[in-house]
Structure 1
């Protein structure tokens, strides 16, 4: 009787482990797929933003904005922020985050 219970317990653990592993794989695949789609969308938007003359011209204003913690807001930065928000309305970023992003382009 104890051998039967041991075999039953081993079989249940094997089934549970494989179900857990396949569930983990499916969840991981779903997350990776979503991140890839978001990255592709962001990458397309970023490429067009990165190559834009308005955004490139705003680098000095963005540096001043970041250095002054938002006190100095140049005209070129304002134009770039408007352009970015028009091109990528799905981005939910603050002015400071966008200014820092402009500096990294």
Structure 2
């Protein structure tokens, strides 16, 4: 009976370690995918709007937005969001991604 319990415990341990490894891989893939999406949005916005006066004027508001995790939404930032989305309707970026992109300009 002791040998059966030992084998059962070893099998459960092996299954548990495999589950942790696969969940780590899934989590890593999700994080990398999110970073890639943010990077793509940032590069699209920064290359298109580097000299745009509306977007450049929103930098301080974007900094406040990012620092407060979206709690502070300035008028200039809202205007820049609207302007960017009108100019690039195919862009599917969140407000947070756009604010970060504006900060990199």
Q: Residues 12-46 of structure 1, C-alpha deviation per residue, up to 9 Å, x if partnerless?
A: xxxxxxxxxxxxxxxxxxxxxxxxxxx9xx76x75
8 Å CA contact 2:46–2:102 kept in 1: the answer is no
- Residue pairs, 1:1-105, within 5 angstroms: 46-105=46-105
Q: Is the 8 A contact 1:59 1:102 kept in 2?
A: yes
CA shift, 1:49, in A, is 1.6
The CA distance in 2 between the partners of 1:55 and 1:89, in whole Å, is 16
Cα RMSD, aligned residues only: 1.9
TM-score (norm 2): 0.56
* TM-score under structure 1 length normalisation: 0.56
CA–CA distance in 1 between the matches of 2:46 and 2:104? 11
* Structure 2: segments with no counterpart, 5+ residues: 1-39
Name the larger-Rg structure. Answer: 1
Residue 50 (structure 1) shift? 1.6
Aligned 8 A contact 2:59 2:102 in 1: yes
Paired with 2:94 and 2:70, the residues of 1 have a C-alpha distance of: 11
Distance 1:46 1:98, change over 3 A: same
Moved over 3 A (4+): 45-48
